[in-house]
Structure 1
Amino acid sequence: MKKVTCTAPVNIAVILLGGKRNEELILPINSSLSVTLHQDQLKTTTSIATSRDITEDRIWLNGKEDDINHPRLQSCLREIRRLARKRRSSGSEDGASRNLNYKVHICSVNNFPTAAGLASSAAGYACLVYTLAELYGVEGELSEIARQGSGSACRSMYGGFVQWLMGEREDGKDSLAQQVEAETHWPELRVLILVASAEKKHVGSTAGMQTSVKTSPLLKMRAESVVPGRMEEMIESIRKKDFESFGQLTMKDSNQFHATCLDTFPPIFYLNQVSQQIINLVHRYNAHYGQTKVAYSFDAGPNAVLFLLEPTVNEFVEVVKHSFPPAPNGDPFIKGLPVSPAPLSQELTTAIEGDACPGGVRYVIITQTGPGPAQSQDPTLDLLGADGLPRSSA
């Protein structure tokens, strides 16, 4: 039996994807740009096993068997196997080529809430494609294949700051991800994820985008007239490590994305009351200091992703606790990178004062930029046992 285990990261878009021009190939109507988050806090782990004793392809997601015949999953399997066969078309009957004739067992787990607006499908499909490529010895450009599983998965194939070029070709061959800067480029940048709801979204991002493309004039204007310029500005702000520009662009793009959701007919509401309170809190905090110290972004869900620099983290975590007192349920409120207590001045407390919302934020994950997918060398992370079936702990 051959078995490979890999991990892949979540990415958070700061220039958001608005919709697709081709649903089957997942070709976007605009380019996008994201920050890859560190796998120490957020990751998907996938193990894939293959042997002559495995009689059918099967997949388990987060402890439950799932549909292996899902079209997007099958597309990734088919493309990786096609590339593997192409590479080994010389006819040499080595172990790797024999593996191509065997079926696979796939087991995948996330260490964060699935389908709650945290780009779980991006990390999941990036991990699937990367692990399959390692299993079959496929090298080269993989973001095009990952894109066919989940559009934003192509951005999770790289660490640091990544752009997904929309491309122009009908076959999608030029709709690829490219790294703009490595994860080591801006070491002071921190990311806070405020989990307002871990429940599944009422409207999935795919269905929502389809409706927006059909009904929102604002979405068309955004894709054609706004995003191209913003992509250039965002890349420049990242390369210069200009947080003022980076933060303002991030918030404006998030706001405009959700304006297109409201412009969709019938309208889509991804944000909830807690999301709106977080937005107001960030603006009050920035106004107090007269500069952009914290920036928010919301994708197709209610959870806030906040960007800030390391010196601001301790104080702003206290601000979040003040405005969203943790529920007294014994669960940890702060997860991820460590923080230290920071007193809030009376002036700041007055500036951020609003209606406190106890329990509105369930918990906060603190992380930073991180690397792309990697093969695990730790056998304790394997999700599949010697029999090719999920371990009980998986």
Structure 2
Amino acid sequence: MAEKKQWVVMVTAQTPTNIAVIKYWGKRDEARILPINDSISVTLDPDHLCTVTTVAVSPAFDHDQMWLNGKEISLSGSRYQNCLREIRNRAGDVEDKEKGIKIEKKDWEKLHLHIASYNNFPTAAGLASSAAGFACLVFALSKLMNVNEDPSQLSAIARQGSGSACRSLFGGFVKWTMGNKEDGTDSLAVQLTDEKHWNDLVIIIAVVSSRQKETSSTSGMRESVETSLLLQHRARDVVPQRVLQMEEAIKNRDFASFAQLTCADSNQFHAVCLDTSPPIFYMNDTSHRLISLIEKWNRSEGSPQVAYTFDAGPNAVMIAPNRKVAVQLLQKLLFCFPPKPDTDMNSYVLGDKSILQEAGFEGANGVEGLPHPPEMKEGEVSYFICTRPGRGPIVLHDQTHALLDPETGLPK
């Protein structure tokens, strides 16, 4: 290894978040984060929802440090420690010819890391921020340390940080296989189809509240496993069949089946939360009104127009089969959930703005002319995000994206 002078080697990566359409809820092994059932998710376009993480190594660093969204956080928890240990165990030789640096495999045990991570969406609000975060950490470290593992093997490491993180190592539709081995080596993610396979889909997220939730997913799951009889029935009798049907629906781009399965699975997951003692309420009145809006529309058309799914939070993820239906959906949503009077439409609908234009709501006052239903209150939805199925993680080579200073390895 080069002598102890001031050099810094850095990698910056971007990783998407994912939303489960067949839910993961409940662990058979808390320490290894092994689930009681398979799950299936869709990866969201990282242009709209992602985590960016910069990882750096230098002999000048005297301990591992991490900053999340600009604030220093502790790395002492077992989840971070498990990921760091697993990646260090697999590290290879690294050579930076430009800087004249060679790091040998054995050196990684002694060297310390600086990590800076940023989410472009609310943390701990039920939008899978920890999934994108741990996936990005593992992916970036694997590139920094020249780890020679395929994404499925990396997913088994990311899983030890956050279960859903394993699914963020691929784009498109992803299945997390629960596995049967006690050591968890067969509990990993596999890609079902890439993001191009069903690229007509449009996803609209209603961010109902970006506050942190009262019951974390971790403690909620533990309580459900301990107290909910419905969860046992779900894992044993319902999900195995549903996973097969969902794989078939995705393969055939069969939206009617996809929507029916997605809505049913979301509703059953929240039924499990209510069946838990004490009951867990992740959805609120606005969430219920969003379900009601879509259920009425789907029934009036005689076939599913839109699928909805809610993770452990009040935010609605709505999936439309194509642009035409997505435009109608956005029109209905803006009619029923208007912004507050002084809100600029461009800050109320984020992500893919072209849908907003097609819906005829350009500019700040696009919605003002609409009569609103009397029971709807302005400001119930913080904002909407329009997005689509997206790709998996990538390295960002442009240094302007780095969150750490290339000279000092400290946050910019």
Q: TM-score, normalised by structure 1?
A: 0.93
Check 1:353–1:329 CA distance in 2 against 1; reply closer, same or farther (3 A cut).
Answer: closer
Which residue of structure 2 lines up, in the alignment, with residue 26 of structure 1? 33
Deviations 1:278-308 (A, max 9, x none): 0000011112222111111001000000011
Task: Say which SS state the counterpart of residue 266 (structure 2) adopts.
Answer: helix
**Percent identity over paired residues:** 49
CA contact (8 A) 1:315 1:343 kept: no
Query: 2:141 — aligned with what?
Result: 132
Task: For residue 70 of structure 1, report the CA deviation from its aligned partner.
Answer: 1.6
Amino acid at match of 2:278: P
Match for residue 127 of structure 2 among 104, 118, 124: 118
Q: 1:215 is matched with which residue: 219, 227, 230?
A: 227
Cα deviations by residue, 1:28-54 (Å, 9 ceiling, x for unpaired): 000000000010000000001111111
Alignment of 1:132-151 (within 5 A): 132-140=141-149, 141-151=153-163
**Aligned equivalent of 2:200:** 188
How far the C-alpha of 1:99 sits from its partner, in A, is 4.9
Q: CA deviation at 1:354?
A: 7.4
User: Is the 1:333–1:362 Cα contact (8 Å) retained in structure 2?
Assistant: yes
CA distance in 2, matches of 1:100, 1:94: 15
Question: What do residues 65-84 of structure 1 show as CA deviations (whole Å, max 9, x unaligned)?
Answer: 00011210011000000111
Equivalent positions of 1:68-107 (< 5 A) are 68-84=75-91, 94-97=102-105, 98-107=107-116
Deviation digits for residues 129-159 of structure 1, max 9, x if unmatched? 0000000000212010000000000000111
Change (3 A) 1:294 1:302: same
1:54 aligned to 2:61? yes
Q: Which residue of 2 aligns with 1:322?
A: 335
Query: Secondary structure of 1:164's partner?
Result: strand
Structure 1 residue runs of 4 or more that deviate by more than 4 Å after TM superposition: none
Letter in 2 for 1:126: A
Counterpart selection for 1:333 from 327, 348, 365: 348
Q: For residue 19 of structure 1, what is the amino acid of its counterpart? A: G
- 1:272 and 1:96 map into 2 onto residues whose CA distance is 53
Instruction: Give 3-state SS (helix, strand or coil) of 1:149's partner.
Output: coil
How many pairs align? 381
Inter-partner Cα distance in structure 1 for 2:187 and 2:328: 41
Q: Which runs of 5+ in 1 are unaligned?
A: none
Distance 1:45 1:387 in 2: 19
Q: Distance in 2 between matches of 1:363 and 1:290?
A: 29
Offset of residue 94 of structure 1: 4.0
Hey, what does 1:390 align to over in structure 2? 411
| In structure 2, C-alpha distance between the alignment counterparts of 1:375 and 1:389, rounded to whole Å | 20
Q: Does the aligned pair in 1 maintain the 2:91–2:108 contact within 8 Å?
A: no
CA 1:289–1:353 in structure 2 vs 1: closer, same or farther (change >3 Å)? Answer: farther
- Alignment equivalent of 1:108, drawn from 109, 117, 130: 117
CA shift at 1:217, angstroms?
A: 0.3
Output the aligned Cα RMSD. 1.9
1:301 maps to which of 286, 303, 313: 313
SS of structure 1 residue aligned to 2:385: strand
Superposed, which structure 2 residues align to 1:342-353 within 5 Å? Answer: 342=359
Tell me what 1:364 maps to.
Answer: 384
- Tell me how far apart the structure 2 counterparts of residues 122 and 279 of structure 1 sit (CA, whole Å): 25
User: What's the counterpart of residue 65 of structure 1?
Assistant: 72
Correspondence for 1:13: 20
> Would you say the 8 A contact 2:88–2:108 is kept in 1?
no
